Amino acid sequence: MRQIHLPQRLPLRLTVRALLGLMALGAGPTLAFAQTAPVVEIGTSLGLTVANGGGATVTTAGIPGAGFLGQPAIYLSFFAGKSLLVEPSVGFTLISGGGETQTLVHLGGQIGYFVNGSAVNSPYFAANVGSVFGSAVDPAQVGVGGKIGYRTVVGSSLGVRFEAGYRRWFNAHLNEITFGIGIGGIVHRTH
């Protein structure tokens, strides 16, 4: 019977160096890209909104959700500098039934700050203001609030946000509490 000779074991130090070298070759471009400053993030969220005022509570869950008063929302975040986020918001809802048609329009904005910077995993906080108006809302409503959350960057092109927020609608004397998970694509600055 013929004997099979296995190659001798490589020294541990050489094996570790070879593996680290291969990982650096594969991860180098990804890490370099991930560390470039993001310019825009566009995404949507699933969310839970609890609004109460005047003795009534309304709970809304949606995918997409977590927009103004639980309405579906797509977000477009602009990154200004290393940590600053500027996020305009617009929405339109048409409600039709029983021979009547109602409209609901919301306009708003949010300014946020990423503690560790926008290119990496980071806790964040934000302040927002918005207005809801249309034939379904009389008079127009103005709300001011804030959010706290954590955003993780998956790979270099996907942002996942976990957040909680509070907004006070002044004319309606309404308190809005939101919980959301956002998923967005990240566009980086190219050199």
Domain that holds residue 107: 38-188
CA–CA distance, 29 with 70 (Å, rounded to integer): 40
Report the percent of the chain where pLDDT is more than 90.
41
Amino acid at 55: G
CA–CA distance, 150 with 164 (Å, rounded to integer): 10
- C-alpha neighbours within 13 Å on the C-beta side of residue 150: 3
- Asked if the structure places residue 3 within a domain, the reply is no
Q: How many CB atoms within 10 Å of residue 2?
A: 4
- Asked if the structure places residue 11 within a domain, the reply is no
CA–CA distance, 176 with 118 (Å, rounded to integer): 27
Q: Are 167 and 127 in contact (CB under 8 A)?
A: no
With vertex at residue 64, the alpha carbon angle to CA 39 and CA 120, rounded to the nearest 5 degrees, is: 30
Return the structure tokens found at 34. 């991930």
3-state helix, strand, coil in the chain (%, to 5): 15, 60, 25
- Asked if the structure places residue 23 within a domain, the reply is no
- Asked if the structure places residue 108 within a domain, the reply is yes
Which pTM was predicted? 0.74
Confidence of residue 25 (pLDDT cuts 50, 70, 90): very low
58 pLDDT higher than 70: yes
- Asked if the structure places residue 174 within a domain, the reply is yes
189 pLDDT higher than 90: no
Domains identified in the chain, total number: 1
Mean pLDDT (whole number) for 4-9: 42
Confidence of residue 149 (pLDDT cuts 50, 70, 90): very high
- Asked if the structure places residue 22 within a domain, the reply is no
Residues in the chain: 191
- Asked if the structure places residue 10 within a domain, the reply is no
What CATH number is associated with residue 148? 2.40.160.20
